[in-house]
Chain A
């Protein structure tokens, strides 16, 4: 078993992404030998069919669970099938497929338990809205204050994790902005987290799920959840 190359599963949570998911899945399938799992979070459109036609394994959630619940389904599947590494990437074309090896490399070399793609390390084309940038700064301060990690992009949804974190997240994964919360969980597990520079683009299709008003709500909610995870009994 040890001599085999580690098995990698690419997990893509998707909600109403019929126009972009096909391209993302095909691009991954053409470039890499990895399995692709799309978790369709109860989309009413053709997301599920399009992803399946493009060659992904698709899990159809019977109702909308939100981003955390959808991603966690991917971890459950990965644990069930014994994958060594999960790469989580967006289905809207925001993340650069070509950067997948960058988040994989430190894991394959055993240098980290989690590798997070940061849009703020190195040169960046990313231009976020003002509330989004403000939110990112807030969470960056929060993570840096309460964990030992020095993080530039705490809400990045482009990351790779190894077996240890897959097993843990399959049972414990936060709901909204799970990436912010996951830092405190990783910190408490003593996991080694590493950021690498990746390219991110503004969304090509659809609107961001976050409006200014909801941004405030999420900031309060995620901050609360983060602080509670700091004092919660885990594991």
Chain B
């Protein structure tokens, strides 16, 4: 077992445990942990099962099998980032709706007679 695979096993194993611990402590929502978990499991499995790694790497034309691990890692990072962009867009939409609702409720509550004195210069 060469050093890069050993490092890869340790790193992906640690990542897996860390993500699980964060979910357990409710610091990370399950929906956002799925891609992280899947990514670390795939890398861990490929690191342990050298034969699979070598087989797949050669099948897609990669001469140095550990490079395939990097590729898988990068692809998962890309997926996770896209997932974040989608999540941010969703939050943006919810935030806008809430701001609009608040503005309308405030107007209803005060009957439009006064502004909020705490806002302003």
Contact = CB atoms under 8 A, between A and B. Distances in A.
A60 B112 contact: no
A62 B120 contact: no
Nearest to B108: A80
A46 B112 CA distance: 15
Interface in A64-98: 65, 69, 72-73, 76-77, 80
Interface residues of A, number: 21
Interface string B69-110: 000000000000000000000000001100110111011000
A62 B95 CA distance: 10
Given A46-B121, A61-B99, A62-B99, A77 B115 contact: no
A39 B112 CA distance: 12
A202 interface: no
B119 interface: yes
Contacts of A29: none
Nearest to B107: A59
A74 to B, nearest CB: 10
A65 B121 CA distance: 20
The B interface, classified by DSSP as helix, strand, loop or mixed, is helix
A63 B100 CA distance: 9
A77 B119 contact: no
A63 B99 contact: yes
B115 to A, nearest CB: 5
A205 interface: no
Contacts of A63: 95, 99
Contacts of A58: 107, 112, 115
Contacts of B95: 63
B120 A80 contact: no
Contacts of A39: 103
A188 interface: no
Contacts of A45: 120-121
A16 to B, nearest CB: 11
A48 interface: yes
A65 B99 contact: yes
A60 B107 CA distance: 8
A52 interface: yes
Contacts of B114: 52
A46 B119 CA distance: 9
Given A48-B115, A49-B120, A52-B112, A73 B102 contact: no
Given A49-B120, A60-B106, A73 B100 contact: yes
B31 interface: no
Contact of B104 (A52, A65, A69, A77): A77
A39 B96 CA distance: 14
A62 B115 contact: no
B102 to A, nearest CB: 5
B104 A60 contact: no
A45 B103 CA distance: 17
Interface of B: 95-96, 99-100, 102-104, 106-107, 112, 114-116, 119-121
Given A52-B114, A58-B112, A61-B103, 12 more contacts: A44-B120, A45-B120, A48-B120, A52-B112, A57-B112, A60-B116, A61-B99, A62-B99, A65-B99, A69-B99, A73-B103, A77-B107
8 contacts: A45-B120, A59-B103, A60-B116, A60-B119, A62-B102, A69-B96, A69-B99, A73-B103
